Amino acid sequence: MKQKTFIPITFSRLWKNEFRDLVNLVVEFLIQYNPVTMDLKFVFDLLVAAQAALLQLHVPYGAHPKTEVLKDKRKKRSKLARAIVAQVRVLKQANAVVNIPYLDVLAPFVDRYLSPVIDSNSSTMTDVLKEMFTALDDDALVQEAITHLNLQSRFDELKTLQTGFTQTFIQRSNMQAERNDVVTMEVRANAELMLTKLLNEIELMQMKHPELDYNPLIKNLNNTFSFYMSQVKTRSTTNQKQIAAKSKVSTNNTTTTAQNGNSGAVAN
78 lies in the same domain as 122: yes
Of the candidates 178, 203, 227, which is a domain's last residue?
Answer: 178
74 lies in the same domain as 52: no
User: Alpha-carbon distance 28 to 194, whole Å?
Assistant: 15
Of the candidates 126, 157, 178, which is a domain's last residue?
Answer: 178
73 lies in the same domain as 158: yes
135 lies in the same domain as 174: yes
89 lies in the same domain as 145: yes
Position 156 in a domain: yes
43 lies in the same domain as 108: no
Reduced 3-state DSSP string for 99-114: CCCCHHHHHHHHHHHC
**Rg of the chain on CA atoms, in Å:** 34
Position 96 in a domain: yes
116 lies in the same domain as 216: no
Position 248 in a domain: no
Burial of 261 (0-12, 13-18, 19+ CB in 10 A): exposed
Confidence of residue 149 (pLDDT cuts 50, 70, 90): very high
172 lies in the same domain as 186: no
Position 250 in a domain: no
**241-252 pLDDT tens trace:** 677 666 665 555
Whose CA is closest to 239, among 22, 13, 17?
A: 13
218 lies in the same domain as 155: no
Position 225 in a domain: yes
Is the pTM higher than 0.85? The answer reads no
Position 123 in a domain: yes
Note the pLDDT of residue 64.
Answer: 56
158 lies in the same domain as 224: no
Note the pLDDT of residue 245.
Answer: 62
141 lies in the same domain as 127: yes
Domain count, the chain: 2
Position 5 in a domain: no
Position 246 in a domain: no
94 lies in the same domain as 162: yes
Of the candidates 161, 178, 195, which is a domain's last residue?
Answer: 178
**150-181 pLDDT tens trace:** 999 999 999 999 998 888 887 777 666 555 45
The HSE-up count of residue 43 (CA atoms within 13 Å, CB side) is: 19
Note the pLDDT of residue 268.
Answer: 37
Q: Are 115 and 78 in contact (CB under 8 A)?
A: no
Full domain range(s) for residue 219: 11-58+182-238
**190-241 pLDDT tens trace:** 999 999 999 999 999 999 999 999 999 999 999 999 999 998 888 888 767 6
Q: Is 39 helix (H, G, I), strand (E, B) or coil?
A: coil
What is the rounded end-to-end Cα distance, in angstroms, of the chain?
84
Note the pLDDT of residue 257.
Answer: 46
Q: Which phi and psi angles does 34 have, rounded to 5°?
A: 65, 95
